[in-house]
Structure formats: structure tokens, C-alpha cells
């Protein structure tokens, strides 16, 4: 059989990672890169339609801004291609449900780019392979840093909407989205119907529309509670730690374990174990070739999409007063440090609290 022909869209941003991965697979004979799409990149096609006009396109990788995902994925499927859709899938639940209908009608497959869900550690924790006992709750914490250049990199960055279209680009829905998606998968939230309630406590230090410091609590009937405490206003050196300051902790009836979901390392009882990770594009190719089960089928991200929808409909993030913030650096490299954010995030994750329940002086009561 001829190698599948793929198109990659949006190669100026995170799409570069997809391009490098596709080149690796092309060298192995697994696929052929038929076209690249990005109007800002020389020698690339301006639109996906231009690339699809080549004919015989089997897979489209969509790595464009969030508010373009639904339209491009639909165009790809109606042209007969399967899709690797970069996370988050899309900014509204209505678009998500529409794309599920398109997927079924076109008879195509959509894999969502939550790379962390390819880790064997996720399956091991979900199946209690470590002997933690019944899962009582799952908590995620993220202590990352973003400078002013991050928010200025594109028109949609840090926006709740752009040109009348929802964007929902905040800490919980984009940069630290993997933390929530991973926690939901381990806790057994397999589709949108699993979610009963979502509590949101959102703040912003930066001069943006969206949130950069947020806590959430997600509950479902008969499922463990999932909480998240996330910020982009932490000391940047934390990301250089072994766990990259992005952790999902599973609290079982007998013990607890923490997954560094960017490195696939699980820590439990003072011991560490590294797990392998399956590549999502390779898995999609295997699905096409022999029906292998997709790791992150579109429907499985329904619970995460409920979080996105809740963030979209929530009130604006509460601005944090300048008296609680110290700015470091100069120019585009300038970044904020929120007072007491490290112990606050860790405490909220440990106890399953929202920021407003933590006693943090900058949190609303």
C-alpha cells in the first residue's frame, strides 16, 4: 500500500513540532508529506482548500488557531481525510457536537492532540496498576510562567473572543489544558455526559481578556472529583524541575501517586517509574491501516469540552491588584510573579480547594 499522503496546516506555531514528527515518519516510510499550509510561510499553500485540491489527501494535521479548528477539520473530513486536531479541540460545545456529526456522516476519524494521553502511565493509573486502591479524587497543578511576548505573539492570544468568534484562550483551556484532560481521563470522565458540575475561580494578572491563574472543581455522578490549580505567573525556574511543574496526583483509598505528565514519570511511595508514550500521529496511521483503537478520539474529549464551554460562559476573570504582583525582566521578556502563588497552588491541589477557599489575599471570597 502507498504511504498515506498528509497535509499539515499552521506550521508557523506548534505545527513545527508536527512537521518534525511527520518528517521522521516520512523517513521511516510511514507517510508522505503532500503539502504544508500557512499563509505566513514561504513555499507553503495559503489555504487548506488549495492543498486539498491536490487530491488524494489521507490525513490533515490541524495546528492552526483555536477558533479555526472546527471549520478546517470539517473541510478535511468532507474531502475524505482523517484529522489530527491540535488541542484544545474547539472553543464551543456546539462546534464540538457539530464536528462529531460531521465525523460520523463522513465516516472519518478525528484524533485530538492531547499528547499526554498517549502515555502508558495514564492507563496504569486508571487501571490501578500501582495498587492505590479506589480513586477518591484527582488533582492537577501547574506552575508555569509566560512573559509579555507570549501574549503578544498572535491576535487571538489571551482573548475570549476575536472578530465576534469565541476563542477562550486561557490557562486552563490552552497552555495547561493537558493537566485537566489527563486528570479527567484518569478519573474516568470519558465523554461530555460524565460531567455533572464545574466550579470556576478565574483570575488574571496580565492585561488580557482571558485568565492566567485559575482553579476548577469538576464533579460527576459516581466519579471522583477532579480539581485543578493552575497559573502562568509562577517563577520560570520551576519548569526546569524534574516534573516540569505540571503534575496530576491520584489519591486512592490506599495510597497516592503523582504523574509528571510532560515526562511520563510516576512517583509513588518515594519511588519513581518512567513510562513509554505512544505517538498520536502514528496511532492515527495504525487506525487507518488496521483499525487500531484511537488513543484520543474526538468524542473522548467531551468532558474537557464541557470545561471549555464553562470557561466560555463564565464571568470575566477577576483582575489581581498590582500590590500582589512583582514584575521581572524588561521589554517583551517581562513576566509577573504572583505573591505566594507556589504554596497556594500546591495547597489547593493537595486539599482539593479553589483559590477563593484558600485564604490567598488576592483571591475573592
Q: Residue 89 maps to which CATH number?
A: 3.40.50.720
Total structural domains within the chain: 2
318 and 201 in one domain? yes
Residues 260, 339: one domain?
Answer: yes
pLDDT in tens, 197-213: 999 999 999 999 999 99
Looking at the structure, do residues 123 and 87 belong to the same domain, yes or no? no
Same-domain pairing of 186 and 307: yes
50 pLDDT band, cuts 50/70/90, is very high
Looking at residue 357, what is its pLDDT?
97
128-159 residues labelled b (16+ CB within 10 A) or e (exposed): bebebeebebbbbbbbbbbbbebbeeeebbbb
CB 312 within 8 A of CB 92: yes
Residue 362 placed within a domain: no
Give 135's DSSP letter. E
Mark which of 108, 137, 153 sits at the end of a domain: 108
141: left (phi over 0), alpha (psi -120 to 50) or beta: beta
What is the span of the domain harbouring residue 151?
A: 116-276+298-357
Whether 168 maps to a domain, the answer reads yes
Looking at the chain, the number of H-run helices and the number of E-run strands are 10, 18
Q: Is 90 domain-assigned? A: yes
Tens-digit pLDDT profile for residues 67-99: 999 999 999 999 999 999 999 999 999 999 999
**How far lies 347's CA from each of 26, 136, 318, in Å?**
46, 17, 21
Q: pLDDT band for position 14 (50/70/90)?
A: confident
356 exposure class (CB count in 10 Å sphere: 0-12, 13-18, 19+): middle
Indicate the residue among 89, 108, 127 that finishes a domain: 108
DSSP 86: P
Q: Could you tell me the CATH number of the domain that includes residue 261?
A: 3.30.360.10
Altogether, the residues listed in the chain come to a count of 365
Q: Cite the beta strand spans of 12-134 per DSSP E.
A: 32-37, 59-62, 82-85, 110-112
> Are both 72 and 132 inside the same structural domain?
no
d(CA 148, CA 328): 11
The predicted structure's pLDDT at residue 205 = 98
Residue 47 lies in a domain: yes
Q: What pLDDT score was predicted for residue 12?
A: 81
Q: How far apart are CA 15 and CA 31, in angstroms?
A: 17
**Residues 6+ positions from 76 with CB-CB distance below 8 Å:** 7, 48, 52, 57, 60, 62, 82, 83, 108
Q: What torsion do the CA atoms of 143, 144, 148, 152 make, to the nearest 10 degrees?
A: -120
At 241 the pLDDT is 87
Tell me whether strands 325-328 and 110-112 are parallel, antiparallel or unpaired. Answer: unpaired
Please give the C-alpha separations between residue 148 and each of 156, 175, 232, 329, 345, in angstroms, as whole numbers.
14, 15, 11, 10, 22
Residue 254 pLDDT exceeds 90: yes
DSSP assigned state of 228: E
Between CA 283 and CA 305 the distance in angstroms is 22
Amino acid at each position: 500500500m502507498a504511504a498515506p499522503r498528509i497535509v499539515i496546516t499552521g506550521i508557523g506555531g506548534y505545527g513545527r513540532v508536527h512537521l518534525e514528527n511527520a518528517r521522521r515518519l516520512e523517513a521511516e516510510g510511514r507517510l508522505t508529506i503532500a503539502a504544508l499550509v500557512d499563509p505566513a510561510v514561504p513555499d507553503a499553500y495559503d489555504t487548506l482548500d488549495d492543498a486539498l485540491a491536490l487530491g488524494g489527501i489521507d490525513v490533515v494535521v490541524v495546528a492552526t488557531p483555536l477558533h479555526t479548528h472546527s471549520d478546517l477539520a470539517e473541510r478535511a473530513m468532507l474531502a475524505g481525510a482523517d484529522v489530527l486536531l491540535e488541542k484544545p479541540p474547539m472553543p464551543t460545545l456546539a462546534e464540538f457536537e457539530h464536528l462529531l456529526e460531521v465525523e460520523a456522516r463522513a465516516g472519518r476519524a478525528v484524533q485530538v492532540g492531547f499528547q499526554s494521553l498517549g502515555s502508558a502511565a495514564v492507563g496504569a493509573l486508571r487501571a490501578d496498576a500501582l495498587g492505590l486502591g479506589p480513586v477518591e479524587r484527582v488533582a492537577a497543578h501547574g506552575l508555569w510562567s509566560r512573559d509579555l511576548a507570549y501574549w503578544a505573539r498572535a491576535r487571538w492570544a489571551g482573548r475570549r473572543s476575536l472578530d465576534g468568534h469565541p476563542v477562550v484562550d486561557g490557562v486552563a483551556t490552552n497552555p495547561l489544558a493537558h493537566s485537566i484532560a489527563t486528570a479527567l481521563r484518569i478519573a474516568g470522565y470519558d465523554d461530555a455526559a460524565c460531567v455533572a458540575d464545574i466550579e470556576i475561580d478565574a483570575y488574571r494578572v496580565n492585561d488580557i481578556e482571558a485568565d492566567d491563574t485559575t482553579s476548577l472543581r469538576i464533579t460527576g455522578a459516581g466519579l471522583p472529583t477532579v480539581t485543578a490549580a493552575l497559573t502562568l505567573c509562577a517563577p520560570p525556574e520551576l519548569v526546569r524541575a524534574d516534573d516540569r511543574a505540571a503534575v496530576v496526583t491520584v489519591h486512592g483509598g490506599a495510597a497516592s501517586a503523582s504523574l509528571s505528565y510532560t515526562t511520563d514519570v510516576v512517583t509513588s511511595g518515594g519511588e519513581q517509574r518512567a513510562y513509554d508514550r505512544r505517538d498520536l500521529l502514528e496511532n492515527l496511521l495504525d487506525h487507518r491501516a488496521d483499525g487500531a483503537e484511537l488513543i484520543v478520539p474526538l468524542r473522548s474529549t467531551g468532558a474537557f469540552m464541557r470545561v471549555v464551554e464553562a470557561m466560555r460562559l463564565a464571568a470575566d476573570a477577576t483582575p489581581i491588584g498590582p500590590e500582589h504582583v512583582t514584575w521581572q525582566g524588561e521589554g517583551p521578556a517581562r513576566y509577573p510573579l504572583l505573591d505566594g502563588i507556589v504554596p497556594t497552588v500546591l495547597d489547593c491541589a493537595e486539599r482539593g480547594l479553589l483559590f477563593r477557599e484558600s485564604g490567598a489575599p488576592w483571591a475573592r471570597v
